[in-house]
Each structure stands twice: as C-alpha cells, then as structure tokens.
Amino acid sequence: MLEPIRSHRVADLVQSDIRAMTQRCVELGGVNLGQGVCDTPPPNPVVAGVQGALDRGANIYTRFDGVGRLRKALAGKFERHNGLKPDPDCEIVVTIGSTGAFAATLMALCNPGDRLLLLEPYYGYHLNTARVAQLETELVPLQGPELKLDAGLLEEKARGARALVLNTPGNPSGRVFTREELEAIADICRRHNLLCITDEIYEYFLYDGRKHISIATLPGMWERTVTITGYSKTFSITGWRIGAVAAHRDLAAPIGLVNDLYYVCAPSPLQYAVADGINTLADDFYRDLAQEYQDKRDRFCGVLKEAGLTPAIPEGAYYVLADIRRLGCDNARDAAMKLLEEAGIASIPGSAFFADPRGEQLVRFCFAKDEDTLNRGCEQLSDWARKQR
Ligand SMILES: Cc1ncc(COP(=O)(O)O)c(C=O)c1O
C-alpha cells in the first residue's frame, strides 16, 4: 500500500456534512432541505439553447475564456445589472461554475502561505478550496443575531493579509451587505492593499426590494476585485457548471491561464445555451424569480417560527439559519439528525459554516425547492411540531 496516500493539501479534509446528510436523507426517504440544489425546471430558452448548439455542432473545445457569444452576453449583463464594464475580450473568463472560478482565482492570484480572510459564517467550499491551495485562512465573525459586519475587527485582521472573500447575498447567512458595509470593506481593502474576491452567485435572489451592489463598482475597487458569478442558481442548472469571472484585465489574464490549465474550457453547448438565456430573458424573469423565492422564504420561515425553530430571516439567497436549541441536543449535528429521523427533514448542521460555538445552535435549511417538495417539507415540519406540544 502506498504510504502516505494523501497529499498535505487534502490530509485534513473530509467530505462535507452536506453530502453525508443527503445520503442519510435518501436512505430514510426524507425531504431534503439540506443541499443547495434548486430542482425547479430551467427556463425554456436555456433548454432550447442546448439543442440548438448541438444541432449546430458545438462539440469542440472553445476559447479558454469562453465562447464570444457568452462573453459578450455576460459583459452586457455585468453592465446592466452590476454597473461594471468588463471588456468581453479580456476581462471575462467563463469557468466551470463559480466553484471553478473561485479555485482558479486562488491559484492564479495567491501564493501558498498567503493569508485569506473569510467572513463567518462562511461557505465551506471557500474555506476548503483555500486550504487545498495552501493558504492560511482567518475568520472574521459577523456579529449578533443579524450577522452584521464589524469593520473594526476586519481592520485588525486585514494587516498583512492577501485577500478577503466576500459573499453577497450570502450562503448560509442570507445577508445582503448594505452599501455602508461594502464601503467599509472597500476602504479596508484599499488601505491594506487587499485583493477582494466576491462570490455573487445569488445576485438575483434579493428580497424586500433590496438592490444588488457589486463591490467592484466602489471607487478604486475594480482594479483589486474579482467578481464571480454563475448560472447554477439563477437558471436552475447546478449540474451544467457554468460560471464566470469579471475582473480587470491584469487579474483576468492569470485567472484565464489557470482556467485553461485545469479545465481547458467550460462545456461548449452549455455556454451557448446560457448566452441564449442571458440574451433573451427579460427583466421580468429576474423579478419573478426573486418574488417566487421571497414567497417561499416567507412561507417556510413562518412554519419554522411556529415550530419554535426561530429563523434569522434571510435578506437574499435561499437559505435560512434556524435556532435548534429547543431540540435539546448537545450539538448541531445531533439536532439535524434528530430532525431528519423524527420529522423526515434534512438540514445542514450550523457547525458546517462556523468555527465558533454559535454554529452548534443552528441548522441551515434550503428553501429552493419545487412547490411539492417545499409543501411536503412544511407539512412534515408542522406535524412534527404539533407532536412536540
Ligand atoms: C456561495 C456559493 N458559491 C458557489 C456555489 C456553487 O456554485 P457553482 O454551481 O456555480 O459552482 C454555491 C452553491 O451552493 C454557493 O452557495
């Protein structure tokens, strides 16, 4: 037997709780409100776009940074929706999902041993991808039940760091950072010469009239920000793996280089299909999407509240952190398992998103489910709560 088997890069990493919970949920025939998979159908132009691309024979490698049609479509979207003006020829890189964008960014712009700041609660892939890239990670806890930014704390930790990861709207926090918070972050990035890597994959999932703000639009930020997005969530195509980076050409060039080395290119027919979606779906598609998810949020949070699992009402994205202390378990993993065994609902233990003990009092639910699944989840949760009384 080869010994040691694992490289240092992955020696301490284990498969995330998210997958383990999903597996157990399948075994029990439960409702999976754990994993962030939206199982609603993709929009028609996107589905038709794949067929069209296949009929046209879009089967060969594309340019490393994506087909021209998609880069142009993305440049238009970044201008209209985000207020950015990337040059489609050298400031956009089409990637294998946002996950591929994030990994390529770390490999292209950070050195082993560089310090990366992550706001806590964090998205597990951000933390673990950074570990595989051999970066030092430092957490900056968001404060209080509303998970607000503590700019003073961020300032303290920023000294000597290489980069900060931002995720707005946030998974699992549901936070949509305010302009004031983003200005404070931008100010710290500029003064401490930090790279800002912002994962904006949930940019269309905004509630109660909130507007998306890309930090790269703030003064002096375009040159030091990598803006990451993806269509997994917006078009319900998590298995297609189409994401993108928009960044100043000096940042985009090395990211494109790594993207080429690791992935060569994103799948060609799917790139054309996403371009068709961006080019043909009008504003009302995105408005309706946000409204649909806001309704789901309200319905599901109402049920959580009645069940005594007090939710932190999300401002965006499609997750909700709920307080599980009434379950009387020692930790979040036990509580999530209890909920799965008793109510048939899978969730993710909060400890997957926090290093500090706050995570042990929380689980995360995902409400990006089709109507039937969400209804079943709501009913099972209500029934379970009734039996507890
Ligand atoms: C914050 C965040 N970034 C990225 C991803 C993954 O995106 P993609 O499918 O584009 O790789 C997810 C999925 O849950 C996410 O929550």
Domain containing residue 337: CATH number: 3.90.1150.10
**Nearest alpha carbon, ligand 1 atom 7:** 98
Query: How far apart are the C-alpha atoms of 190 and 215, rounded to whole Å?
Result: 12
Please identify, among 262, 282, 302, the residue that sits at the C-terminal boundary of a domain.
Answer: 282
* Number of domains into which the chain is organized: 2
Positions in the chain short of pLDDT 70: 16-17
Mark whether 318 and 355 lie in a shared domain: yes
DSSP assignments along 351-383, one per residue:
GGT-SSGGGGGEEEEE----HHHHHHHHHHHHH
Mark whether 246 and 351 lie in a shared domain: no
Mark whether 126 and 79 lie in a shared domain: yes
| CATH number of domain containing 259 | 3.40.640.10
Please identify, among 242, 260, 282, the residue that sits at the C-terminal boundary of a domain.
Answer: 282
Mark whether 318 and 336 lie in a shared domain: yes
How high is the pLDDT of residue 225? 98
How high is the pLDDT of residue 365? 97
Q: Which atom, in ligand 1's list, is nearest to the CA of 36?
A: 14
Q: Which atom, in ligand 1's list, is nearest to the CA of 101?
A: 11
The reply to whether 173 falls in a domain is: yes
CA of 310 to the centre of ligand 1 (A): 25
How high is the pLDDT of residue 24? 86
How is residue 219 written in tokens?
């003064």
The reply to whether 28 falls in a domain is: yes
The CB of 353 under 6 Å from ligand 1? The reply is: no
How high is the pLDDT of residue 283? 96
Q: Which atom, in ligand 1's list, is nearest to the CA of 99?
A: 11
Query: How far apart are the C-alpha atoms of 199 and 210, rounded to whole Å?
Result: 17
How high is the pLDDT of residue 35? 81
The reply to whether 170 falls in a domain is: yes
Q: Which atom, in ligand 1's list, is nearest to the CA of 243?
A: 10
**Nearest alpha carbon, ligand 1 atom 15:** 171
Please identify, among 250, 282, 314, the residue that sits at the C-terminal boundary of a domain.
Answer: 282
The reply to whether 190 falls in a domain is: yes
How high is the pLDDT of residue 256? 98
**Nearest alpha carbon, ligand 1 atom 16:** 171
Mark whether 308 and 181 lie in a shared domain: no
Mark whether 63 and 98 lie in a shared domain: yes
How is residue 25 written in tokens?
């949920």
Q: Which residues of 106-131 are buried (b: 16+ CB within 10 A; e: fewer)?
A: bbbbbeeebbbbbbbbbbbbbbbbbb
Residue range(s) defining the domain that contains residue 220: 44-282
User: What percentage of the chain carries pLDDT values higher than 90?
Assistant: 91
Mark whether 230 and 360 lie in a shared domain: no
CA of 198 to the centre of ligand 1 (A): 12
Mark whether 360 and 225 lie in a shared domain: no
How high is the pLDDT of residue 239? 94
For 320, the enclosing helix (H) or strand (E) is strand 319-323
Question: Which are the contacts of 356, defined by CB distance < 8 A and separation ≥ 6?
Answer: 120, 139, 141
Query: How far apart are the C-alpha atoms of 318 and 127, rounded to whole Å?
Result: 20
